[in-house]
Amino acid sequence: MRLDLGDGVQAMVVVAADPQTAEIGDPGQLHDIGPDKAGAGTGDNDHVSPGRSVDAASRYNGVIRQLDRVAKGWVLRWQPVPGLYVRVAALGETNAEVRRAAEALRFDEARRCVAPIQLTALPRGARISACEVAVRQLFWPRIVNVAGTTTPTQMPAVASDRTEAALTVALEGAATLPVRLDYSPGPPKPDRATANRTIAGRPVFDMGDFWHVLGIPNTLLSIGYENRWERPPTDAEVSTVIGGLRVADDLGEPASWE
């Protein structure tokens, strides 16, 4: 998770079932704030000397350390319960930011994924297996290297010029059907395609294995058959998902996505 803590302060939170995954996470997301550029090791002050090995789990002891390769960077690792590893890295003058990000995490209550799209009808035996939402554009600070010390420049997070959401429907028979929304505010833009059929009262551009739901201003809403090694979804399954599709009135305002 990328978090905007306000005042240009950002944090990266990784939660995993094993310490190796928590250390590396998604290299494309973490390479600027935590692991070294090679992705091997963590780049923290508690790294071991050459020729020595360390049990990665031993790092998860609730101690805040300063990032070795990033000035004004901090990392906190701990285990909220056995078998769960959390790594929080943040930039800041003090370690207060990384502590604040860590304190915001909750492991004792269930939360739902609030998205600008809802699927109120699913095919028989199907379920929603994944939900991803991005409502702000976080620009990681550029890293400037001077005499071997890396210092982040100030690049505050800004309001996103788009809203992205993705819901993955797990179908019967080990097949998936992703539903993706990409909203870009601004002057009204025409649809990128022309409808060639109507499904559940909605205009749809049907490509045979990809479906674009049209008529939603400044929005690309697509349902796609992406995993070619899986069976393709049936027309009935796609029609059911589109028939139960609900889109928020204000795609740029998360408070309205109820």
Per-residue pLDDT reduced to its tens digit, 194-236: 999 999 999 999 998 899 999 998 899 999 887 778 888 999 9
pLDDT bucket at 70, cuts 50 / 70 / 90? low
The pLDDT value given to residue 30: 41
The pLDDT value given to residue 47: 46
DSSP H or E stretch at residue 230: none
Query: pLDDT tens digits, residue range 151-186?
Result: 555 444 455 568 889 999 999 988 899 999 999 887
**Amino acid at position 235, single letter:** D
For the ranges 39-53, 75-89, 149-163, 241-255, which has the lowest average pLDDT? 39-53
Helices (H), 126-231: none
Measured in residues, the chain has a length of 258
Nearest to 233 by CA among 126, 119, 120: 126
CA-to-CA distance for 191 and 202, rounded, in angstroms?
13
Nearest to 66 by CA among 29, 103, 91, 41: 91
The answer, yes or no, to whether residue 87 has pLDDT greater than 50, is: yes
The answer, yes or no, to whether residue 192 has pLDDT greater than 70, is: yes
Please answer whether residues 80 and 88 qualify as being in contact, where contact means their C-beta atoms are separated by less than 8 angstroms: no
Does the pTM surpass 0.95? The reply is no
Mean pLDDT, residues 34-51 taken together: 42
47 vs 242, more confident: 242
Mean pLDDT, residues 244-250 taken together: 92
* 180 backbone dihedrals φ, ψ, rounded to 5°: -120, 140
Mean pLDDT, residues 60-65 taken together: 90
The pLDDT value given to residue 185: 82
Query: pLDDT tens digits, residue range 101-141?
Result: 898 888 887 777 889 999 999 999 999 988 888 876 555 55
Helices (H), the chain: 19-24, 27-30, 96-103, 235-243
* 125 backbone dihedrals φ, ψ, rounded to 5°: 80, 0
What is the overall mean pLDDT for the chain? 78
pLDDT bucket at 37, cuts 50 / 70 / 90? very low
